[in-house]
Structure 1
Amino acid sequence: MLAPLTLMMTCALCALSTAPVFAGGIERTAFSTGLLFEQGRVVQFELGGFRPDVSGRLSPAFGPLAGTGSGDMTTDFGLWTLGAKLPLGDRTDLMISFDHPYGADVSYPRTGSGYILEGSTATLDSSALTGVLRYRLTPAISALAGIRVEQMTGIANLNLAPPSLPGVTLGYDVDASRETDMGYILGVAWEKPEIGARVALTYLSSITHDFDGRETYSTPYGSQTATTSWTSEIPQSVLLEAQTGIAPDTLLFGTIRWTDWSAFSVAPGLYRATAFSSDGSNLVDPIEDTVTYSLGLGHRFTESWSGAVIATYEPSSGNIVGNLGPTDGYRSLTLAATWTHEAVSSSFALRYVEIGGADTRIAGFDDNSGWGAGMRISYRF
């Protein structure tokens, strides 16, 4: 009787997609094939929120200002997703989903502390429409293929108060165009429903956005404006998802995901000629590729209630990161519960994240964390 438990745990895991991850400093939701393996026709809605706390202190290189705190440079945010799974015949299923896979809300507070980026802000918005077909080659083996259409835009407004120029503030602004581009998805899956076992391997291609933007660099001596173009590649990734029943009403599940973040950067032309980039660095620099591991255990307590605990780990690289995303790896623990009654399933998740410390070119960011919560409502028809 593992099939009902498999469904209930899948519901609980889907609720977690609204609790953000931190790879690349901009990733907020992660793709999953779970919905494709639901029985029958399903519509689901997910809603979540996250409250991060990320702050740093100027490095010893800043002399008398060393140790000056940035204050919390993040803001609370919410996420929502919508998805549906529809059978198209005896062997074919279709999954359609809409989500917001990437984002950033950076706001260095104006505390009067003397932190040199005080008042700087940045926003990144994205949305994606994904469609994936699953075709059963045999009762146990399926092939997956799909398309992902992604839209992205961003704005940054930076302030810099150089310690060598007391009373002087420099400014840099960039407003990127809203671009829509496409990638593809390929995968294969094996399953044995009677014991709740399934393994799915999925490849998501990169998506390249060609942005146009207006940059302005302001100094006490005047300002310089330029209309520029640059290319940013949202990286390719490989996702391995697995689960199996290990005891009556008990499910073991996990994921391993590799993401090619070293291919991602944001490099407007004027920015690299400003005082904000003294060594020619980009607005958002490439970082190391990431591998994220997740392991969970689920148990059905009654016909209506099940619960799960999930641990997630992404090791830090130890490399220098950018001031608009000063994190490096993370660890998290999630508790999830699912209630099922007839055609409706409701899932709830609470997640604590220990955000990996990181060094930028001007500061060190340590002892940071965040809390997330998510819910999902699923209707079978």
Structure 2
Amino acid sequence: MKYRVIAAGAALVASSSAAYAVGLDRSTRPTGLIFESGNVLEFSLGYTNPSIDGTDGANTPTGNIAESFVIGGAGVRYEINDKFSVGLIVDEPYGADILYGPTSTFLAGTAAKVDSNAITAFGRYKFDENWSVHGGLVYQSLSANVTLSGAAYRGLSGYNAAFSNDSSVGYMVGAAYEIPEIALRIALTYHSEIDHELDTFESIGATPIASSTTDVTTPETIELAVQSGVAKDTLVFGSVRFSHYSATVVSPIGLQGATMNPNASLTDLENAWDAELGVGRRFNDKWSGSVSIGWEQKGSDDLVSPLSSTNGATYLTIGAAYQLNEKTKISGGIRYTDFGNAIANIGGNPVATFDSDSALSAGLRIQYSF
């Protein structure tokens, strides 16, 4: 039973498809490379086209507030011996591209852009064929720009905060249990919070109001991933991930002063859960494929920030992997995401409603063994 080919079709597809997911997630911290065999070099590219539009409190359309985006990734794994391997993973863990168009009376001009990059240096040690541990350091950069605009923000309309790029270090650590004969793997991986100090320039219109440093923490995450062969040429897989987004608060000094609220924040993010379940199938020596369904859940109500106007989701991913030759493997897939209904609010006051929103994602990954 050639489970390794099946696993490629099942697991790589999801991580090579760009996501529009809970919180600010983009690449959802890919870790599949850690569990590959031998020496591997890989490159991935993903594209997402979201459609998120609603109606604001003045009963005018918001237009599509979410812009399409492309994310890239790369990684290398080197096997030092049959017990110890090391590698690097480059990804874009967080991001946002939000802009309310001129049709929205309440929110026209409100915008948020978040960019990030991360490099993870990892190592894995196998005690035997069943038990292993993995871990490493994560070097992460983060920058952002936020504008609040429209009648919903009243005297704060025209506020802008530009957050300069900052880099900081965190870590990830995990363990796995495997039975290679049936492709069973149970892996638990933890990514730490990463604290940033972002130089911040704030203004309202053309008037500067503050120049300071803002502390921002990206969330810790923990993921349990499971896969197992269940029949000849067939593999099932699944995962559960928790993201501690309530720790991500963006409260610059100028915003606190302008609102006379020491707890004022540009974010209103809630802790989030993501679960996925799927099946992979090997068709022949060249081709394998997979299909999976996933769910995202955050918070206990429909209230969200105008800068993050989605509320949970259900998604379907279909993918395939092709073994081009002995050394080269190509995998890819598409994902359709259906978002839950959401009510954008400012200080508890509804300012827009969003329903029937979705996103279409596609991804491609190339792996080369050397």
Same fold (TM over 0.5): yes
Paired residues of 1:110 and 1:119 also in contact (CA < 8 A): yes
Which of 270, 275, 282 does residue 300 from structure 1 map onto? 282
Structure 2 match to 1:155: 145
Instruction: Give the Cα separation in 1 of the matches to 2:54 and 2:212.
Output: 32
Alignment of 1:115-194 (within 5 A): 115-161=105-151, 170-194=157-181
Structure 1 match to 2:313: 330
Q: Specify whether residues 324 and 252 from structure 1 end up closer, same or farther in structure 2 by C-alpha distance, changes over 3 A only.
A: same
Q: CA deviation at 1:224?
A: 4.2
The one-letter code matched in structure 1 to 2:99 is: S
| Count of aligned residue pairs for this structure pair | 363
Which of 97, 101, 106 does residue 98 from structure 2 map onto? 106
Q: Specify whether residues 319 and 271 from structure 1 end up closer, same or farther in structure 2 by C-alpha distance, changes over 3 A only.
A: farther
Structure 1 match to 2:89: 97
Instruction: Give the Cα separation in 2 of the matches to 1:236 and 1:186.
Output: 12
RMSD of equivalent CA atoms: 2.1
Paired residues of 2:3 and 2:234 also in contact (CA < 8 A): no
Structure 2 residues not aligned, in runs of 5+: 346-350
Q: Specify whether residues 273 and 169 from structure 1 end up closer, same or farther in structure 2 by C-alpha distance, changes over 3 A only.
A: closer
Q: CA deviation at 1:30?
A: 1.0
Paired residues of 1:15 and 1:46 also in contact (CA < 8 A): no
Cα distance per residue 1:213-271 (max 9 Å; x no partner): 000013xxx73421022211111111101100000000000111011111111111212
Deviant stretches of 4+, over 4 Å: 277-280
Instruction: Give the Cα separation in 2 of the matches to 1:163 and 1:78.
Output: 31
Which of 234, 250, 261 does residue 245 from structure 2 map onto? 261
Q: CA deviation at 1:179?
A: 0.5
Q: CA deviation at 1:124?
A: 0.7
Paired residues of 1:133 and 1:145 also in contact (CA < 8 A): yes
Structure 2 match to 1:212: 199
Is 1:9 equivalent to 2:1 in the alignment? no
Structure 2 match to 1:195: 182
Q: CA deviation at 1:282?
A: 1.2
Alignment of 1:226-237 (within 5 A): 226-237=210-221
Structure 1 match to 2:348: none
Q: CA deviation at 1:316?
A: 4.1
Which of 246, 270, 276 does residue 230 from structure 2 map onto? 246
The one-letter code matched in structure 2 to 1:127 is: N
Is 1:41 equivalent to 2:39 in the alignment? yes
Q: CA deviation at 1:327?
A: 1.0
Q: CA deviation at 1:206?
A: 0.5
Q: CA deviation at 1:289?
A: 1.4
Which of 355, 358, 363 does residue 369 from structure 1 map onto? 358
Q: Specify whether residues 171 and 246 from structure 1 end up closer, same or farther in structure 2 by C-alpha distance, changes over 3 A only.
A: same
Instruction: Give the Cα separation in 2 of the matches to 1:189 and 1:134.
Output: 10
Cα distance per residue 1:95-151 (max 9 Å; x no partner): 31101110111111123xx52221222211100000111101122100111111100
Instruction: Give the Cα separation in 2 of the matches to 1:56 and 1:160.
Output: 15
Q: TM-score, normalised by structure 2?
A: 0.92
The one-letter code matched in structure 1 to 2:22 is: A
Which of 69, 72, 75 does residue 64 from structure 2 map onto? 72
Structure 2 match to 1:350: 334
Which of 336, 340, 348 does residue 323 from structure 2 map onto? 340
Instruction: Give the Cα separation in 1 of the matches to 2:138 and 2:175.
Output: 17
Q: Specify whether residues 309 and 97 from structure 1 end up closer, same or farther in structure 2 by C-alpha distance, changes over 3 A only.
A: same
Secondary structure at the aligned position of 1:315 is classed as: strand
Q: Specify whether residues 280 and 238 from structure 1 end up closer, same or farther in structure 2 by C-alpha distance, changes over 3 A only.
A: closer
Paired residues of 1:57 and 1:69 also in contact (CA < 8 A): yes
Q: CA deviation at 1:68?
A: 1.7
Q: Specify whether residues 198 and 280 from structure 1 end up closer, same or farther in structure 2 by C-alpha distance, changes over 3 A only.
A: closer
